[in-house]
């Protein structure tokens, strides 16, 4: 029997997990790392690099490397124009259509880039099962997680990415809900839980009620454009300003990436330390190098306005669940950005209780996805997720006003219906515009699709009674059908997704994807060795940055050992930086 | 949302699509082959959820039934089932979720009761579409509506001439008071009528039932109107200056 896995397809990192002997486990590489950076790089010869190798290439071949593509899933160019400025890759596309990502002379849609990441995870899982001696180690089905606040277009784009990667997407589930499932495993208790999920690019808050193994989401809210990436950008702009390069276009893509790497390291440091240095080592891209002291207070002052932005969605979610902060029994933190002490403090203040973080906030979502995959395949019934649709769904009526058909926070699956008629005699088709969002005017909501109902029997105006049915499935994805009630004729519906791919486009990409070369076996071995070396470098450098390093060196190291460590470290870094020969 | 109007029990039996056996409409699973049944044109959320047709429901019991049925219907458990069963699971789950959401909310519960007892919907005037406020002012509220509209006009004028926002806020707060009082009064009346409905004996005369239902509908219409007024004040507070009074969606077929 082929394998099923749970996948957390993150903005910054992605993970794959599965259920082994009843318990979910993350699949790791040789150096014990479960995270696959969601970075894709394309070599001169068309070879696709994914993960840590692609992350390294970000520093040397920035313009051929794509990261944070999740921010562009299911979106149009008009949504993302502002944030494209510091990115090394081209972000384009026609107005009112899907975003296109330009790398060298090629263009990709965000689902295609995500599919490369998913294929890497599939590959990682298959290697793992093969090593375990599984006869059928193929991984062809997966549960993939998305931010709870993802709209229909973003969910559909994620499902398309799965298809392009050769995976049957068993289910799309929400990240905070997946996390609660992982937490619920060893805590059979009941109560009301708030999951605060601040990741690399997105923020979600979900309020759940857990009873008798049923995890019922009461409400959810969020911001699909708020996360660690934004903190990085603030720091990057600070550095660029100090280098007097902001906005002048004077910074090369490689320099921007070197700065990005440095500020991310500093951001991590400041979760454990009161101050640290932002260090860009001198190199070809920045000969003079850069070093700057930054304190935690300074960093917190910088990012506080962004963290403040998470509070309004939290309050709205509580209001929608008709609860007060004191009604919440447990608060669970998910996502790498919740390691930031300021985030913890603000969440603690808001709910008046210490948040849970027993499980690794980077891994908990993938673990939950694995549990859900196991539920679907095994039919085990001790746990059940009842999630909600995050945004109201409606249609445009005359005057550009939205008539809501399924309200936000409705438990899914959910259905709704609406009656239509013709405006003129013998009209045989009606146009319908489907929207998602809370605002009253269609122009302020998200356009999901335009439908044309055809085949209405010719009748005087106002006589046809066309029932349009909306069905949101357990993935939170919408399907539409319609019937003319007087004749019982089922209507043909043509779908034109506003920010998505048509089935034909996905089919075509599926064929094209077979033509993309992936790194061959030898290259993979080398990449794995470099990954392992990088882990060693990272751990060593972390130790070398300890404030009490000198005391430790004096007490526990041989004379000269520290210097030998430095030399070995420099050699290893040089070896890593050497390009892969092709 | 409550679909309206609801065709109530247009069929009394279903046919199992798996084995062809007949099944009473309140059954969720075929008695003969135990497969999940396709959703017929069901209309009664109370019987679907297995709770009495009362307005004061035991919420814990309602929730327990919801969880139990979710565990029976949810698409998670039909992943490997036939397409027919998967569709039945999807439809039945959706319907269960609609039913639970409706019965959990006291006002929606009354509206649903009115619908299944054959009364016209209490939410809207005949000329407007679903989901929107009534266009016609209930006669008993004419005085308050008149006074409020006058006050809102003045507040808008003052705002445009650059008056102190805190003074405007105080006036709007004052304008709320009589309307809040009317709403509290209506809530009380709705509770009383709900109690009367629940106390009716099973063999109550149709006229007695109808009298309570008519009164419930009347109160609910007024209450919905009052809520619209309060929403208008709140919008005015937020400074949007929008007046939703009497507006509704256009271009939909009138509900037959």
Q: Do B71 and A214 touch (CB under 8 A)?
A: yes
**Closest residue to A419, CB basis, from B70, B95, B255:** B255
Average pLDDT over residues B242-247: 36
Cα–Cα dist A5/A128, whole Å: 12
- Please, what sign has the CA dihedral across residues A9, A11, A15, A18? negative
- Which of A175, A230, A363, A387 is an active site residue? A175
pLDDT at B6: 40
Q: Which residues of A touch B76 (CB under 8 A)?
A: 171, 372, 375-376, 384-385, 474
Number of H helices, E strands in chain A: 15, 28
pLDDT at A305: 95
Site of tokens 């009842």: A386
| Percent of chain B clearing pLDDT 70 (strictly above) | 80
Q: Which residues of A touch B251 (CB under 8 A)?
A: 397-398, 423
- Nearest Cα neighbor of B186 from B132, B133, B226 is B226
pLDDT at B94: 93
Give DSSP secondary structure letters for A4-41: EEEEEE-SSEEEEEEEETTEEEE---TTS---EESEEE
Active site residue A230: no
Spell out the residues 6+ positions from residue B119 whose beta carbon is closer than 8 angstroms to its own.
Answer: B213, B214, B217
pLDDT at B244: 36
Beta bridge partners of A92: A100
pLDDT at A67: 92
- Please, what sign has the CA dihedral across residues A308, A313, A315, A316? positive
Residue in chain A lying closest to B244 (CA): A440
pLDDT at B51: 92
Q: Is the pLDDT of residue B248 over 50?
A: no
Confidence band of B256 (pLDDT split at 50, 70, 90) = very low
Structure tokens at A439: 């605002």
User: Who wins on pLDDT, B211 or A284?
Assistant: B211
pLDDT at A553: 83
Average pLDDT over residues A559-568: 88
User: What's the distance, Cα to Cα, between the start and end of chain B in Å?
Assistant: 18
Cα–Cα dist A118/B107, whole Å: 47
The pLDDT tens digits for A395-446 are 888 778 888 899 999 999 999 988 888 778 888 888 888 888 888 888 888 8
Burial of B151 (0-12, 13-18, 19+ CB in 10 A): middle
Q: Do A413 and B97 touch (CB under 8 A)?
A: yes
pLDDT at B241: 43
CB contact at 8 A, A24 and A4: no
pLDDT at A342: 95
Spell out the residues 6+ positions from residue A558 whose beta carbon is closer than 8 angstroms to its own.
Answer: none
Average pLDDT over residues A133-155: 91
Residue in chain A lying closest to B67 (CA): A214
Site of tokens 């058909």: A405
Q: At what angle do helices B142-160 and B206-238 cross, to 10 degrees?
A: 10
Q: Is the pLDDT of residue A307 over 60?
A: yes
Q: What are phi and psi for residue B58, nearest 5 degrees? A: -75, 105
Active site residue A70: yes
The pLDDT tens digits for A498-554 are 777 777 777 777 766 666 656 667 777 787 888 888 888 888 888 888 778 888 888
- For residue B100, give how far its alpha carbon lies from the nearest alpha carbon of chain A (Å): 9
Q: Is the pLDDT of residue A391 over 60?
A: yes
Active site residue A197: yes
Average pLDDT over residues B124-130: 40
Q: Is the pLDDT of residue A45 over 50?
A: yes
User: Who wins on pLDDT, A524 or B200?
Assistant: B200
pLDDT at B33: 78
Q: Is the pLDDT of residue A368 over 60?
A: yes
Average pLDDT over residues B203-231: 87
Interface A:B, Cβ pairs < 8 A:
92
CB contact at 8 A, A63 and A104: yes
Cα–Cα dist B151/B153, whole Å: 5
Average pLDDT over residues A217-234: 93
Say if B202 is an interface residue toward chain A (CB within 8 Å).
Answer: no
- For residue B221, give how far its alpha carbon lies from the nearest alpha carbon of chain A (Å): 20
Q: Is the pLDDT of residue B10 over 50?
A: no
Beta bridge partners of A441: A401
Average pLDDT over residues A233-249: 80
Site of tokens 């070995």: A568
Average pLDDT over residues B64-75: 92
Cis peptide leading into B5, omega within 30 of 0? yes
Q: Which residues of B touch A382 (CB under 8 A)?
A: none
What residue spans of A210-289 are helical by DSSP H? 228-242, 253-272
pLDDT at A187: 60
Say if B252 is an interface residue toward chain A (CB within 8 Å).
Answer: yes
pLDDT at A499: 75
Active site residue A444: no
Cα–Cα dist A74/A14, whole Å: 18
CB contact at 8 A, A436 and A448: yes
Confidence band of B43 (pLDDT split at 50, 70, 90) = confident
The pLDDT tens digits for A85-118 are 778 888 888 877 889 998 888 889 999 999 999 9
CB contact at 8 A, A142 and A6: yes
Q: Do A413 and B93 touch (CB under 8 A)?
A: yes
Total residue length of chain A: 582
Cα–Cα dist B78/A532, whole Å: 43
Q: What is the per-residue burial (b if ≥16 Cβ within 10 Å, else e) of A485-511? A: eeeeeebebeeebbbbbeeeebeebee
pLDDT at B8: 39
- For residue A96, give how far its alpha carbon lies from the nearest alpha carbon of chain B (Å): 26
pLDDT at A513: 62
pLDDT at B240: 43
pLDDT at B4: 38
Q: Is the pLDDT of residue A246 over 70?
A: no
Q: Which residues of B touch A404 (CB under 8 A)?
A: 131
Say if B94 is an interface residue toward chain A (CB within 8 Å).
Answer: yes
CB contact at 8 A, A398 and B249: yes
- Nearest Cα neighbor of A200 from A380, A8, A60, A328 is A8
- Nearest Cα neighbor of B251 from A558, A396, A371, A364 is A396
pLDDT at A554: 84
Q: Is the pLDDT of residue A250 over 80?
A: no
- Nearest Cα neighbor of B26 from B102, B70, B92, B100 is B92
pLDDT at A579: 66
Confidence band of A310 (pLDDT split at 50, 70, 90) = very high
**Closest residue to B67, CB basis, from A214, A376, A379:** A214
The 8-class DSSP code of residue A313 comes to H
Give DSSP secondary structure letters for chain B: ---SS----S-SEEE-TTT--EEETT-SB-TTT-PBPPP-S---HHHHHT--S-SS--HHHHHHHHHHHHHHH-GGGGTTS-HHHHHHHHHHHHHHHHHHHHHHSHHHHHHHHHHHTTPPPSSS-TTS-TTS--SSPPGGGHHHHHHHHHHHHHHHHHHHTT--HHHHHHHHHHHHHHHHHHHHHHHHHHHHHHHHHHHS-TT--HHHHHHHHHHHHHHHHHHHHHHHHHHHHHHHHHT-----TT----SPPPP-
Q: Is the pLDDT of residue B250 over 50?
A: no
- Nearest Cα neighbor of B148 from B50, B245, B33, B17 is B245
- Please, what sign has the CA dihedral across residues B69, B71, B76, B79? negative
Q: Do B97 and A385 touch (CB under 8 A)?
A: no
pLDDT at A401: 86
Q: For chain A, give the mean pLDDT.
A: 87
Q: Do B94 and A414 touch (CB under 8 A)?
A: yes
- Nearest Cα neighbor of B41 from B91, B102, B113 is B91
Confidence band of B253 (pLDDT split at 50, 70, 90) = very low
Lowest-confidence region among A229-243, A470-484, B52-66 = A470-484
Q: Do A397 and B90 touch (CB under 8 A)?
A: no
Q: For chain B, give the mean pLDDT.
A: 77
Instruction: Count how many Cα atoms sit within 13 Å of the Cα of residue B217 in the half-sphere of its side chain.
Output: 20
Q: Do B252 and A403 touch (CB under 8 A)?
A: yes
Lowest-confidence region among A7-16, A121-130, A412-421 = A412-421
- Which of A29, A53, A70, A152 is an active site residue? A70
User: Who wins on pLDDT, B4 or A355?
Assistant: A355
> Is pTM beyond 0.90 here?
no
Say if B249 is an interface residue toward chain A (CB within 8 Å).
Answer: yes
Average pLDDT over residues B49-75: 92
pLDDT at A263: 95
The pLDDT tens digits for B144-195 are 788 888 888 888 888 778 777 777 788 888 878 888 888 888 889 999 999 9
Structure tokens at A353: 């209780």
Residue in chain A lying closest to B105 (CA): A322
Confidence band of A8 (pLDDT split at 50, 70, 90) = very high
User: What's the distance, Cα to Cα, between the start and end of chain A in Å?
Assistant: 37
pLDDT at B239: 62
pLDDT at B206: 87
| CA-to-CA separations, A20 to A127, A129, A221, A322, in angstroms, rounded | 16, 11, 33, 39
Confidence band of B249 (pLDDT split at 50, 70, 90) = very low
Q: Is the pLDDT of residue B129 over 70?
A: no
| Percent of chain A clearing pLDDT 70 (strictly above) | 94
Most confident of A36-40, A97-101, B214-218: A36-40
**Closest residue to A381, CB basis, from B71, B75, B93:** B71
**Total Cβ atoms within 10 A of residue A574:** 9
Average pLDDT over residues A458-485: 86
């Amino acid at each position: 029997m082929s394998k099923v896995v749970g996948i957390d397809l993150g903005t910054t990192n992605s993970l794959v997990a599965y259920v082994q002997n009843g318990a979910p486990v993350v699949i790791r590489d040789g150096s014990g790392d479960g995270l696959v950076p969601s970075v894709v790089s394309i070599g001169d010869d068309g070879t696709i690099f994914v993960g840590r190798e692609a992350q390294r290439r970000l520093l040397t071949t920035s313009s051929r490397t794509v990261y944070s593509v999740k921010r562009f899933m299911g979106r149009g160019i008009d949504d993302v124009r502002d944030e494209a400025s510091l990115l090394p890759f081209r972000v384009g596309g026609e107005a009112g259509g899907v975003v296109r990502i330009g790398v060298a002379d090629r263009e990709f849609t965000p689902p295609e880039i995500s599919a490369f990441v998913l294929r890497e995870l599939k590959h990682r899982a298959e290697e793992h099962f093969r090593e375990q001696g599984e006869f059928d180690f193929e991984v062809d089905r997966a549960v993939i997680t998305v931010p709870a606040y993802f709209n229909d277009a973003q969910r559909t784009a994620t499902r398309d990415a799965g298809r392009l990667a050769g995976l049957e997407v068993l289910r799309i589930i929400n990240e905070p809900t997946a996390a609660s499932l992982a937490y619920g495993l060893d805590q059979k208790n009941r109560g009301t839980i708030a999951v605060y999920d601040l990741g690399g690019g997105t923020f979600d808050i979900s309020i759940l009620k857990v009873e008798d193994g049923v995890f019922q989401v009461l409400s959810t809210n969020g911001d699909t454009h708020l996360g660690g990436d934004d903190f990085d950008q603030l720091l990057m702009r600070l550095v660029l300003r100090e280098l007097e390069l902001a906005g002048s276009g004077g910074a090369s893509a490689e320099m921007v990436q070197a700065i990005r790497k440095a500020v991310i390291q500093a951001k991590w440091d400041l979760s454990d330390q009161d101050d640290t240095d932002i260090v860009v080592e001198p190199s070809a891209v920045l000969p003079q190098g850069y070093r700057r002291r930054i304190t935690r207070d300074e960093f917190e002052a910088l990012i506080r306005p962004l963290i403040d932005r998470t509070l309004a969605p939290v309050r709205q979610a509580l209001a929608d669940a008709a609860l007060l902060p004191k009604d919440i029994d447990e608060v669970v933190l998910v996502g790498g950005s919740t390691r930031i002490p300021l985030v913890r403090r603000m969440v603690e203040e808001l709910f008046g209780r210490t948040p849970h973080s027993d499980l690794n906030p980077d891994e908990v979502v993938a673990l939950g996805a694995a549990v859900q995959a196991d539920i679907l395949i095994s039919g085990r019934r001790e746990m059940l997720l009842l999630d909600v649709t995050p945004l109201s769904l409606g249609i445009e009526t005359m005057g550009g006003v939205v008539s809501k058909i399924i309200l936000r926070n409705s438990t899914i699956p959910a259905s709704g219906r609406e009656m239509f008629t013709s405006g003129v005699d013998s009209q045989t088709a009606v146009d319908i515009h489907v929207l998602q969002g809370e605002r009253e005017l269609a122009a302020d909501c998200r356009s999901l699709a335009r439908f044309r109902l055809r085949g209405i029997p010719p009748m005087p105006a106002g006589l046809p009674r066309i029932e349009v049915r909306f069905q949101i499935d357990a993935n939170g994805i919408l399907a539409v059908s319609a019937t003319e009630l007087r004749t019982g004729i089922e209507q043909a519906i043509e779908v034109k997704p506003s920010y998505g791919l048509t089935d034909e486009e996905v089919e075509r990409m599926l064929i094209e994807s077979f033509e993309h070369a992936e790194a061959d076996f030898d290259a993979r071995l080398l990449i794995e060795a470099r990954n392992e070396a990088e882990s060693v470098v990272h751990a060593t450098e972390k130790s070398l940055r300890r404030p009490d390093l000198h005391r430790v060196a004096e007490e526990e190291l041989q004379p000269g050992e520290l210097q030998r460590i430095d030399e070995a470290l420099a050699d290893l870094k040089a070896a890593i930086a050497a390009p892969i020969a092709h | 949302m409550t679909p309206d109007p609801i065709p109530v029990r247009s069929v009394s039996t279903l046919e199992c699509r798996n084995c062809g056996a007949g099944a009473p409409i309140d059954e969720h699973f075929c008695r003969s082959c135990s497969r999940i049944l396709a959703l017929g044109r069901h209309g009664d959320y109370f019987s679907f959820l297995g709770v009495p047709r009362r307005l004061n429901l035991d919420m814990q019991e309602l929730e327990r039934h919801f969880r139990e049925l979710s565990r029976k219907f949810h698409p998670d458990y039909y992943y490997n089932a036939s397409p027919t069963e998967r569709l039945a699971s999807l439809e039945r789950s959706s319907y269960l979720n609609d039913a639970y959401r409706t019965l959990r909310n006291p006002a929606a519960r009354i509206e649903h009761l009115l619908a299944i007892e054959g009364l016209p919907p209490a939410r809207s005037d005949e000329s407007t579409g679903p989901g929107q406020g009534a266009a016609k002012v209930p006669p008993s509220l004419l005085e308050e509506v008149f006074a409020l509209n006058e006050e809102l006009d003045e507040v808008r004028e003052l705002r445009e001439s650059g008056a102190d926002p805190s003074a405007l806020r105080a006036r709007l707060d004052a304008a709320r008071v009589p309307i809040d009082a009317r709403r509290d009064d209506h809530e009380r009346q709705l509770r009383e009528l709900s109690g009367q409905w629940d106390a009716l004996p099973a063999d109550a005369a149709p006229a007695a039932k109808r009298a309570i239902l008519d009164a419930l509908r009347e109160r609910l219409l007024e209450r919905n109107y009052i809520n619209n007024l309060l929403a208008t004040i709140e919008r005015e507070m937020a400074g949007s200056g929008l007046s939703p009074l009497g507006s509704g969606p256009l271009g939909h077929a009138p509900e037959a």
